[in-house]
Chain A
Amino acid sequence: MAKPKLALYWAAACGGCDVAVLDTNEKILDIASLVDIVFWPIAVDFKYHHVKAMADKSIDLCLFNGAIRSTEQEEIATLLRAKSKVLVAFGACACHGGIPALANFTSRAEILQRVYIEAPSNSNEQKTLPQLQTKVAEGELELPELFDDVKTLAQVVPVEYYVPGCPPPVDLILKLVDLYATGKLPPAGATVASDKSLCDECDRIKEEKKVTKFYRPHEIIPDPKKCLLEQGIICCGPATRGGCGMRCIKANMPCRGCFGPPPGVVDQGAKMLSAIASIYQGNDTAGINRMLEEVVDPAGTFYRFGMADSMLKRKRLQKS
């Protein structure tokens, strides 16, 4: 029997999701012996034209990491969707927009201005910006176009499964492979992780949540046994799906929300805001204002991974 065909791709990503697949260590060899890897830009030398030449639905499983923010990424997402039987949004960026989607708090024009012109490390006297077409002696060069919006994979093409995490933990990757290999994949649309919130699986001592001051992680050494939120450190556990094995909590760091919202929560940031508002003890305006100051960059904190998928979606663009 022919081995199942596996493809992996990175769009707007950091490479960490691909490394997470390699982190399965010796298990990667099992995976490699179980499947034929037909496309994986970080590790295997196949090109886009090889994928284009494949018959539709000839890839059995495609793990797609990264968000979509350029014409090239959109094109490859569409291509891999057509060629794959099962398409998996792999990692926080593909599932919810992830860190790249923080760009939705700004715009393409502002990003280009900052990166190519204002950044102190630049020396760009001619104020050159990337061009879609550039004529050189050998002919015309083309670059993909950057969008204003960073999108999730599912906002561009239909997706069968979601494996959250920045990056997904090894045990969930192996669980997905196992579910696939044993033909036990859940109904399409499922997320391969817990169906409860992170707080639900967190084993820290939880007493009454009453907070009078918020600390940033570097301002305090937290008690490693007690709930971090009760100690005034913003931990996104109440608004985050469980299943990561409490990776950050075990390192005495607060959850940053990379697993996205738990089932039934529409907007992770709003849920977190609600959690914060309900534990703050204080009813005088001065205290409330001080607390608001203590939460530095609330939008970036509550929507750190979920901006593309949130109700906010993006900052309103100035009409030109």
Chain B
Amino acid sequence: MSFEPKIVGILCNWCSYAGADLAGTSRKKYAPNMRVVRVMCSGRVDPTFVLKAFQKGADGVLVCG
């Protein structure tokens, strides 16, 4: 079985989340490995969120914004 990483994406509401949304409405395909968490600003992201994601079994964390 090939490795399918679980990636937690923490995305800013105003840019990267909007971008991901636009990708969806434009019916662009992207790999389903990323689980998105929307935050109102990437400045809200605390290192604890990243640790928590890894603790819960994420293989990678992507912070966008």
A:270-320 near B, CB below 8 Å: 270-271, 273-274, 277, 311-312
Chain A interface size, as a band, is under 10
Min CB distance, A306 to chain B, in Å? 13
Interface residue A230 (Cβ < 8 Å from any Cβ of B):
no
Interface size on B (CB < 8 Å)?
Answer: 7
Interface class of chain A by DSSP = helix
- Chain A: CB-nearest residue to B54: A311
Interface class of chain B by DSSP = helix
Residues of B near A312 (CB, < 8 A) are: 51
B:1-57 near A, CB below 8 Å: 46-48, 50-52, 55
Min CB distance, B50 to chain A, in Å? 8
Find out whether the CB atom of B51 lies under 8 angstroms from the CB atom of A271.
Answer: no
Min CB distance, A317 to chain B, in Å? 16
Residues of B near A270 (CB, < 8 A) are: 46-48, 50-51
Interface residue A266 (Cβ < 8 Å from any Cβ of B):
yes
Find out whether the CB atom of B46 lies under 8 angstroms from the CB atom of A311.
Answer: no
Indicate the member of B46, B47, B51, B55 with the most A CB atoms within 10 Å. B47
Min CB distance, A49 to chain B, in Å? 42
Interchain CA distance A273-B48 in the complex, whole Å: 10
Interface residue A149 (Cβ < 8 Å from any Cβ of B):
no
Interchain CA distance A273-B55 in the complex, whole Å: 18
- Chain B: CB-nearest residue to A272: B47
Residues of A near B51 (CB, < 8 A) are: 267, 270, 311-312
Interchain CA distance A214-B51 in the complex, whole Å: 25
Residues of A near B48 (CB, < 8 A) are: 266-267, 270-271, 311
Residues of B near A271 (CB, < 8 A) are: 46-48
Residues of A near B47 (CB, < 8 A) are: 267, 270-271, 273-274, 277
Interchain CA distance A312-B51 in the complex, whole Å: 7
Interchain CA distance A2-B16 in the complex, whole Å: 69
Residues of A near B55 (CB, < 8 A) are: 311
Min CB distance, A288 to chain B, in Å? 15
A:236-271 near B, CB below 8 Å: 266-267, 270-271
Apart from A266-B48, A277-B47, what are 16 other A-B pairs with CB-CB below 8 Å?
Answer: A267-B47, A267-B48, A270-B46, A270-B47, A270-B48, A270-B51, A271-B46, A271-B47, A271-B48, A273-B47, A274-B46, A311-B48, A311-B51, A311-B52, A311-B55, A312-B51
21 A-B pairs with CB atoms under 8 Å apart are A266-B48, A267-B47, A267-B48, A267-B51, A270-B46, A270-B47, A270-B48, A270-B50, A270-B51, A271-B46, A271-B47, A271-B48, A273-B47, A274-B46, A274-B47, A277-B47, A311-B48, A311-B51, A311-B52, A311-B55, A312-B51
